[in-house]
Amino acid sequence: MNLILLQPEDWTNDSHACLRDPRRLHHLREIHHAAPGDCLTVGALDGLIGRGELLSLTDTEAQFRVTLDREPPAPLPVHLLLALPRPRMLARTLEHVSALGVKRVTLMHTRRVEKSYWQSPELKPEKIRQHLLLGLEQARDTRLPEIAFETRFKPFAEDRLPAMLANQRGLLAHPGLAQACPRGISDATLLAIGPEGGFVDYEVEKFLELGFEGIHLGERILRVETAVTALLSRLF
């Protein structure tokens, strides 16, 4: 936790906050070894970053005097279209994309996504939020990503994806496609990444018909969470 991310319920007034949840209190005591008088990096959820002076710390609460004075890191110019990973991998992937600065994620169904994944407790709003918050705390960011769901591929690809692609560069990451992953781009980008086993031929053809550019990361076949991190790091 490189940032104490203050949520609306933490504020007691415009300049003071009180933490009471066990996870953050444990981190303050056992990881930071914080003591009254220490100044720590804090941020307001979806707001500014600054410093928090620890006024008091007990087993049940931590009191801070807060000064916020700078913007969080700039977001990546990408909307991630991600075939729904298996639940354990989803948790790690959400934390990673949040830490890397992705602010829009659409989790979509594709042929090789197990239907049972959509029933996972990891898709409950509170679970998703917790994974995203962990990523923000790691990266010293405050802007919570938006998560959307598309449970049927064909209606999504035919009815909504064309409008999403307007004024954006579409990139389809899939093994065996012609173009190597570009580096250091700044375009607003719609990046599609498939499930374990990749997209089926119909899905690849549909993306390419819509105007997506097919890209690859080389001969290695990567796990989804590794591929997401590698693609984002190379592209931006």
CATH of the domain at 56: 2.40.240.20
**CB–CB of 41/5 below 8 Å?**
no
pLDDT at 218: 86
Q: Which one-letter amino acid corresponds to residue 83?
A: A
Tokens 């916020």 map to which residue?
68
Same domain, yes or no: 97 and 193: yes
Query: Whose CA is closest to 44, among 163, 170, 133?
Result: 133
pLDDT at 1: 86
Determine the Cα–Cα distance for residues 195 and 179; give it in Å rounded to an integer: 20
Same domain, yes or no: 138 and 200: yes
Tokens 């991310």 map to which residue?
5
pLDDT at 125: 97
Query: Whose CA is closest to 39, among 67, 18, 11?
Result: 67
Determine the structural domain holding residue 49 and report its residue range: 4-70
Helix (H, G, I), strand (E, B) or coil at 123: helix
Which residues, in sequence order, are CB contacts of 34 under 8 Å at separation 6+? Answer: 28, 40, 54, 57, 62
Determine the Cα–Cα distance for residues 39 and 43; give it in Å rounded to an integer: 13
pLDDT at 105: 98
* pLDDT by position in tens, the chain (length 236): 899 999 999 999 999 999 999 999 999 999 999 999 999 999 999 999 999 999 999 999 999 999 999 999 999 999 999 999 999 999 999 999 999 999 999 999 999 999 999 999 999 999 999 999 999 999 999 999 999 999 999 999 999 999 999 989 999 999 888 899 999 999 999 999 999 889 999 999 999 999 999 999 888 888 899 999 999 999 99
Distances in Å between the alpha carbon of 88 and those of 70, 81, 116, 201? 35, 18, 13, 26
Same domain, yes or no: 130 and 218: yes
Determine the Cα–Cα distance for residues 80 and 224; give it in Å rounded to an integer: 13
Same domain, yes or no: 148 and 53: no
Same domain, yes or no: 65 and 87: no
Query: Whose CA is closest to 81, among 212, 182, 176?
Result: 212
pLDDT at 17: 98
Same domain, yes or no: 65 and 130: no
Same domain, yes or no: 10 and 111: no
| pTM, two decimal places | 0.93
Same domain, yes or no: 86 and 152: yes
